[in-house]
Chain A
């Protein structure tokens, strides 16, 4: 596609439910990142996929958070047993090659509200 696509754009869920957030990166981009943006906060790094290498999961806040990237393309971020503090905008980005550091392109984000 023309840009990074995220779905859904908005998600309201009840506390304790599981949610899946989807990211479709720009075709050909080998690197994919997930960030979380809470109200009044900066961007918090969650996880980073680079090609076939093991993902960098060092930013995941708890074991309720997980992500996968299938076929080196689409990624899904899963939050299990959601809590109110999980409410935030989840941003996905992709780039051609982080080694040379080309631009990271961001999606519009998924606004998650846990009630």
Chain B
């Protein structure tokens, strides 16, 4: 079985502040992990993914995430938030056999 928990359905940060979106997963096998972003009225776009290798993964738009097996976490960070980062962010896990399982999402607000 696989599952994802995203802590915090809404996160608000000031422009220029650190962004931290939390994701914890459960998987019976070594997982593949993903972060997707959904801008208003748009489809989902892949931000970054972890499959194997380096545990710190860099994605688009300055985002990165670190796979921590001991903590079963894959938190998403960005050093300095921009207004254009306002969107909904989804963490997802795959055991490579079944479709992606998504978390419930975190809506990021960026205050000027």
Contact = CB atoms under 8 A, between A and B. Distances in A.
Interface in A88-110: 91, 93, 98-101, 103-104, 106-109
A49 to B, nearest CB: 10
B43 A91 contact: yes
Contact of B96 (A48, A98, A104): A98
Nearest to A43: B102
A106 B99 contact: no
Interface string A65-107: 0000000000000000000000000010100001111011011
A1 B102 CA distance: 26
Nearest to A109: B43
Interface of B: 6, 32, 36, 42-46, 49, 51, 90, 92, 94, 96-105
B53 to A, nearest CB: 13
B92 to A, nearest CB: 8
Interface of A: 4, 33, 35, 41-43, 45, 48, 56, 59, 91, 93, 98-101, 103-104, 106-109
A46 to B, nearest CB: 9
A41 B104 contact: yes
Nearest to B51: A101
A43 B45 CA distance: 14
Contacts of A59: 99
Contacts of B104: 41-42
Contacts of A98: 94, 96-99
A33 B43 contact: no
A65 to B, nearest CB: 15
A41 B103 CA distance: 9
A45 B103 CA distance: 11
A56 B101 CA distance: 13
Given A98-B96, A103-B49, A45 B43 contact: no
Given A99-B96, A101-B96, A106 B43 contact: yes
A42 B94 contact: no
